[in-house]
Amino acid sequence: MRTVFLAILTLIVSSCAFAQNTTLPPIKSEVWRPWVILEGGLVWGSYETNGDVRLQSGISKEGWKFGAGIGHDSYRYSSLPIYLQARKIFVSGKKRPFVLASAGYNFATEPDFSPDWWFDPRGGITPVYKYGSGYYAELGGGLAFRENKKWGYTLSISYIRKTMSEEYNTTIWNGTGLENEVINNLYRMNRFSIRLGIRIGR
C-alpha cells in the first residue's frame, strides 16, 4: 500500500510541475458553469478488491470545480457515501492534470446480521450484528481528457477512508453465571481506487 500511496503523491506533484512548466494558457471563464462526472472503477485494500461507482455534479470556473457526489461503496460493508468535492484543473488543452479532495458522511446500508449457524451449548443468546454510519474522505489526482467543450474523460487514482461502527450482543461467563453484554467496534477502512469517468460540461 505504501508504494501506491507514493504513486499518488508523485502524480499530484507531477501535475503541479506540469502545470508550472507548460506553455498552454490557464483555463479562463467569466461565469460559473455546470458539470457532471460519472465514474466507475476498482477499489482495493488489505481486506478485498471490488467495484466502485460514483456520480458527482457541481459548478466550475477558471479551473476550479466545486460540487457534491454520491456513490455506492461495498468494500467489506455496504454503505452510501454522500460528500462535498473540490477539483483543481491546472491548464487548458486535451490532457489536463488535476487534483481532488472529498469529504462527507458514510451512510451504513449493511443489513443487520444474525448468524444462522450460531450455537452456544451454555444457552447464551444468538448475537445480532448492527452497523452504523461514519465519515468519508478522499485525496487523489489524475488527468482530464478533453474531447470538446461539452464532454470528455477522466482517469484518476485516489486514497480513500470510510468508517463504520459495529454493535452486537453476546453472552459471557462472569465466573458465576452467564451475562449478556454489548460489544462495539469502530472500523477505519483505508483503500485505494483507480477510476475512469465521463465528464459532461467544462
Which domains can be identified in the chain, with CATH numbers?
Answer: 2-107+131-162+187-201 (2.40.160.20)
Pull the grid cell for residue 16.
503541479
Q: Cell numbers at residue 116, please?
A: 444462522
Which amino acid is residue 138, in one-letter code? E
In whole angstroms, give the CA distance from residue 69 to residue 192: 18
pLDDT tens digits for range 112-125: 988 877 766 666 78
**What pLDDT is recorded for position 9?**
47
pLDDT tens digit sequence for 52-62: 999 999 999 98
Q: What local confidence, expressed as pLDDT, does residue 147 receive?
A: 75
Residue 79's pLDDT is 97
